[in-house]
Structure 1
Amino acid sequence: MTEIRLKHQTISEALAKEIRDGIRPPGERLPGEHALAREFGVSRTTMRAALAELSDAGLIATRTGKGSFVLFDGRRLNNPLGWARALADQGVETVVRTLFVREVHDEDLARSLGIETTRFILVERTRELAASGTIVSYERSRLPSLPVIRGLTNRGPAELSLTAIMRDAGLEPHHGEQRLRGRRIDAEEARVLRREPGDWFLETSRTSRAADESFVEHVVSLLDPEHFQLSVEFS
């Protein structure tokens, strides 16, 4: 029996193969409906139906007025290694931009961590996909205000590796806890992320401690839910 394939199904299967084969890599922005319709010689209605199938399959995500983007395709990220290493291990090229480094006082955080000092070094960074320039995370890390780390405040927003900085400061994460929730971003966060106030993002809050229970790092990350997903395994 001959199977009849509709035009939009044929197109969605062709694009899905390109995505899975890496021809259209993670983070790449797909051409618009007009361009894709011309490329495949079909109407925009047919093209829209094909893109809808790709979205339903979890291969792309579409934002109104922004276009369609290839997802990380469900690949596991080993977050304890840090986002940069986790994404690089999966072949996702990102660019990290440091917004600023400064010393702050945070009594609430000190109280929740059970430590006496209220002085922390705050490092704010964004991470964007190299292929498209889409910002996929906004990270705010608080580190102990140690001399070697305080020196970063004089360097300005240069590109830096927090992993290397923590290693130089003798901060070795051994264990910790992480929480995740979904929430709407505020006006300032929207400005940094180049999104709209009220857009939904995933927020992860991770606290790392050394083997002797001393504080190492507290980082809050806002993650684009169109690229990051939460996977839970159970038995």
Structure 2
Amino acid sequence: MTGTPGRRVRLKHERISSELAREIRSGRLRRGARLPGEVALAERFGVSRTTVRAALAELSEDGLIATRTGKGSYVLYDGEPLDNPQGWARALASRGVDSRVRVLSVVAGRAPELAAHLPDGARVVVVERVRELAGPDGTPARPISYERATLPAVGPLADLPTRGLTGSLSAELVAAGLAADHGEQRAACRRLGEREAALLGRDVGTWFLHTCRTSLTAQDSLVERVESLLDPEHFELSLTFGSDA
């Protein structure tokens, strides 16, 4: 392997996102302007569309672009949409919401229900977190959501149980070269069980919004599955739709 000793070789999507970031910051690409399509960018840089998606996800993580789809379902916080590609923590912070995430556990395991989207015998990483609102004037933080994320144990994600999660899951997925192409989200209301009620500081049987979002690559491989229990005082689900024309 060649290169400057001690200097990490950047991945393809990192080089692309860096180049596009320079063009945005220099004004060559206006902030808010529509970028060329994935096919055009893939041809320009001589890479796959999967690599382009990873680069766009990194730009979104850095707040330089915002990706939108014509149709889909979105979680709202106090009536305002949360940008999932950007990551909820940053999306909440951009709206002036002082929140923090408490990581409960990061463990390796298996997910038979996701076998169709994983290589044979592949393991997964399961991350459990509670999101809390910062309490005013030193009062205790109030939990507003419980999240359980299941990720494929590939690339740098494989050692996540050992090193722990210190940043955002969105950044971890980008580092692993995983970018969502499609998927589905389901929502329902259900009552909290004993463990969930204890984690969220609520009574057993309290109604919460339950969502399950499964994101897949263009090849139908798993990017992540996130199950969330959301406080209905703050969260709701919005469905957008439009003509195919």
Normalized against structure 1, the TM-score is what? 0.62
Counterpart pick for 1:130 among 106, 130, 134: 134
Deviations 1:1-20 (A, max 9, x none): xxxxxxxxxxxxxxxxxxxx
* Equivalent in the alignment of 1:154: 162
Counterpart pick for 1:104 among 93, 97, 109: 109
Rounded to whole Å, the distance in 2 between the matches of 1:200 and 1:193 is 12
User: How far off its partner does 1:152 sit?
Assistant: 1.5
Identity %: 48
Q: What's the Cα RMSD here?
A: 2.3
* Equivalent in the alignment of 2:90: 85
80 and 169 in structure 1: CA distance in 2 versus 1, 3 angstrom threshold: closer
* Equivalent in the alignment of 1:6: none
* Equivalent in the alignment of 2:217: 210
Rounded to whole Å, the distance in 2 between the matches of 1:231 and 1:83 is 16
Counterpart pick for 1:94 among 95, 99, 116: 99
213 and 227 in structure 1: CA distance in 2 versus 1, 3 angstrom threshold: same
Moved more, 199-208 or 80-89: 80-89
Rounded to whole Å, the distance in 2 between the matches of 1:154 and 1:115 is 22
Deviations 1:85-135 (A, max 9, x none): 332232212101111111011212325x47634521001111111245111
Is contact 1:183–1:202 with CA below 8 Å preserved after alignment? yes
Gaps of 5+ in 1: 1-70
Higher relative contact order (CA 8 A, sep 6+): 2
Q: Does 1:74 align with 2:82?
A: no
Gaps of 5+ in 2: 1-75
- Paired residues, what number? 163
Deviations 1:149-194 (A, max 9, x none): 12111124x5331111111111112221111110001001111111
Is contact 1:98–1:160 with CA below 8 Å preserved after alignment? no
Is contact 1:120–1:144 with CA below 8 Å preserved after alignment? yes
Q: What letter corresponds to residue 89 of structure 1 in structure 2?
A: S
Normalized against structure 2, the TM-score is what? 0.60
* Equivalent in the alignment of 2:22: none
149 and 114 in structure 1: CA distance in 2 versus 1, 3 angstrom threshold: closer
